[in-house]
Amino acid sequence: MPDVVSDEGILAILEAGRWAPSWTNTQPWDFILVRDPVTKDKICDIAKNTLLIVNGGSIEGCSCIVVVCVDPRRDPYHYIEDGAVATQNMALAAHSLGLSSYWAGVFDLGKANGSMEQKVRELLGVPDPIRIVSILPIGAPAYGKTGERKSLRDLLHYDKYGNRSDYLKLQRD
Q: Structural domain tally of the chain?
A: 1
On whether residue 158 sits in a domain, the answer given is: no
pLDDT for res 169: 63
pLDDT for res 148: 86
On whether residue 163 sits in a domain, the answer given is: no
Across the range 102-118, mean pLDDT stands at 88
29, 69 contact by CB (below 8 A): yes
On whether residue 31 sits in a domain, the answer given is: yes
On whether residue 171 sits in a domain, the answer given is: no
* Domain that residue 108 falls in: 7-148
Task: Spell out the residues 6+ positions from residue 116 whose beta carbon is closer than 8 angstroms to its own.
Answer: 46, 47, 50, 52, 106, 108
Q: What pTM was computed for the model?
A: 0.85
The CA distances from residue 147 to 101, 106, 143, 150, in Å, are 16, 25, 12, 10
Average pLDDT, the chain: 87
On whether residue 173 sits in a domain, the answer given is: no
Residue 14's domain is classified under what CATH number? 3.40.109.10
On whether residue 159 sits in a domain, the answer given is: no
Across the range 114-130, mean pLDDT stands at 95
Lowest mean pLDDT segment, chosen from 64-68, 103-107, 113-117, 139-143: 139-143
On whether residue 153 sits in a domain, the answer given is: no
